A and B are shown apart, each in its own frame.
Chain A
Amino acid sequence: MLKSALILLATFAMYIASGQTMDLLDEESTPTVVYTFATFKTNRVVNGHSIETVAKREFDLKIAHRFGFLSGGPYDLFGLDRATMRMGGDYGITDNLNVGIGRSTEDKTYDGFVKYKFIKQSTGAKKMPITATWVSHMGITTSKFTQITRENEFSHRVHYTHQLLIARKFTEGLSVQLSPTLVHKNLVDSAGFSNDILALGIGLRQKLTTRTTLNLEYYYVLPDQLESDKTNALSVGFDIETGGHVFQLFFTNSSGPFEKAFITDTRAKWLDGDVRFGFNIARTFNF
């Protein structure tokens, strides 16, 4: 009974399929490689990079705002009185190789990065389950040294972050990214802690409509590497794409908008209500 039902179903499916093919055309031609696109709406998940790169000769201007804590209450208009920001941009040397620079209010930090997408998720003639991108950042803080009794050197201002970003677009709606990360600080905050800090970033995006997505980003710092008052950064946000712009609206407990800051300097805790509102505006220009 089941068998005959299956045969009937298969026959029906074949009938449907044949109705759709064009009888004059060779629809069954050699398969081509179909690269997955739009794993994320933009090249940031929330704070951290996504596997996406800007296309060749495109400049993606990024203005990132973070406000004060919601726990500041009505006196601080729930944090809106305390805005910090990063202005910067990503540029496509090729479709896969990007460079970027930025300047953040936090510690008056200048940052720059090189980003290279070296594996692309694809189906068809070539099957590749993931997209992988490497990004190396360098940051230089330029705020005045606070410990004037110490011998302060320029190298103390420098920090680096290296990330391997691995993402898969599982369905049209769901994309997941894992980001093993190494942060190197030339100067640690307190004695006895390593200059190298290992973390694992996890990014999730779920499409809500064709133009909006829900994003989640969590950076887990492996235990016993940071001062005990520090915590992991968790961010929840929405991407809204309007054609020329992508707006990212989010809530996060993280500090500054560059990697070393949000991965290794986050102290605020969601459970204490120390969560801030932030938004990124991305606008792409063509050259």
Chain B
Amino acid sequence: MVAFTNHSGGIFKTNTGNINVFSHTAIEDITADNHKVKTAFDGTSGKLQFSALIKDFEFPKALMQEHFNENYMESTKFPKSTFNGMIENIAAVNTGTDGTYTSNVTGKLTIKDVTKEVSAQGTFTVKNGVVNAKTTFVINPEDYNITIPKTVASKISKEIKITVDADYRHAH
């Protein structure tokens, strides 16, 4: 009976999730957006996955985008970045009822074939059947084998802010 009254559960998906990458230094701010992130979560188990193509990150300057792909991320060799984790307290996220819920998200983030544990607080807003998930966390490029030459070290932060924003819909 519980299953009938609670409309939670099932798979929620989108192919147009957003990930923003932001680096702040005294010299310049660098920002890039990927609007083609594939992500899905299981409303019952809390399993959460992301897959983002590196080449889909868009920078305001073409040369930055080229250098991001060519020098830093080596996107031909490592075309995608993935996250495989869990929404820890999925029971608290009632996908069947409009409202805002929070839960910790933990899992394995893979960038350039280097996998690290990450953890962040996620905010889930349910409205008219759409589940919006937002989270922000910080990574250090060096942890993922992204080398920054000394000549540009003053322009690229060691704390890269990653902001995730995705609107999930129930997958039928």
Contacts and interface: CB of A to CB of B under 8 A. Distances in A.
B62 A27 contact: no
B128 interface: no
B51 A38 contact: no
Contacts of B149: 211, 242-243
Contact of A243 (B47, B62, B155): B155
B62 A210 contact: no
A34 interface: yes
Interface in A75-90: none
Interface in B69-122: 69-71, 74, 76-77, 82, 84
Interface stretch (A18-26, A112-120, A222-230, A265-273): A18-26
Contacts of A58: 61-63
Interface residues of B, number: 29
Interface in A237-287: 241-244, 284, 286
B34 interface: no
Given A24-B49, A210-B70, A172 B77 contact: yes
A38 B41 contact: no
B38 A25 contact: yes
A29 interface: yes
Interface in B6-63: 11, 13, 15, 38-42, 47, 49, 51, 55, 61-63
Given A25-B38, A25-B40, A55-B62, A241 B49 contact: no
Given A24-B41, A25-B40, A242-B151, A211 B71 contact: yes
A200 to B, nearest CB: 29
A220 B69 CA distance: 34
Interface of A is mostly: loop
Q: Which of B11, B61, B69, B74 has the most CB of A within 10 A?
A: B61
B62 A25 contact: no
Nearest to A53: B62
Interface in A5-42: 22-27, 29, 34, 37-38
Interface of B is mostly: mixed
B49 A37 contact: no
A37 B47 CA distance: 36
A172 B84 CA distance: 29
A24 B47 contact: yes
Contacts of A22: 38, 40, 49, 51, 82, 84
A24 B13 contact: yes
A107 interface: no
Given A22-B82, A27-B51, A172-B76, A242 B66 contact: no
B127 interface: no
Contacts of B61: 55, 58, 286
A37 B77 CA distance: 13
Contacts of B63: 55, 58, 284
Given A37-B66, A172-B76, A24 B55 contact: no
A242 B148 CA distance: 11
Given A24-B11, A58-B62, A241 B71 contact: yes
A77 B13 CA distance: 68
Contacts of B1: none
Contacts of B152: 242-244
10 contacts: A24-B13, A24-B41, A24-B47, A24-B49, A25-B38, A25-B40, A58-B62, A210-B71, A242-B152, A243-B155
Interface of B: 11, 13, 15, 38-42, 47, 49, 51, 55, 61-63, 66-67, 69-71, 74, 76-77, 82, 84, 149, 151-152, 155
Given A38-B70, A172-B77, A243-B155, 5 more contacts: A24-B49, A25-B49, A55-B62, A95-B62, A172-B76
